[in-house]
Amino acid sequence: MPCYYELEYPGLSRRFKEEVRKAALRISEYPLAWSLERGEVRKCLLHKFPYKLLYSIENNHILVLAVAHQHRKPDYWVDHDKT
């Protein structure tokens, strides 16, 4: 996805990566602040892009499971064989 953004507008992929980094920092500071998406998986929406970070809170770390578009295949990260 960053390559697509760079083709659309020079520098946009850098802004996307920075937005993902900021979301990850917010999650690390306040892991319980975001709502549950599925089971114990939480979602943190990016501010300037239509994406969300999906993560779980583990014993001693945060596990980011996916960066998913909010509208285009938003559940691509789910193992549909187990649901």
Q: 2 or 73: which carries more pLDDT confidence?
A: 73
Q: 49 or 2: which carries more pLDDT confidence?
A: 49
- pLDDT of residue 33 exceeding 60: yes
Q: Which residues have CB under 8 Å from 34's CB, separation 6+?
A: 27, 42, 43, 44
- pLDDT of residue 83 exceeding 50: no
Q: Which residues have CB under 8 Å from 46's CB, separation 6+?
A: 19, 20, 23, 52, 53
Half-sphere exposure (Cβ direction) of 70: Cα atoms closer than 13 Å = 10
51-57 sheet: strands from edge to edge? 36-38, 41-45, 51-57, 62-69
Whether the predicted model's global pTM rises above the 0.75 cut: yes
Tell me the pLDDT tens digit for each residue of 5-14.
Answer: 667 777 888 8
Q: 8 or 17: which carries more pLDDT confidence?
A: 17
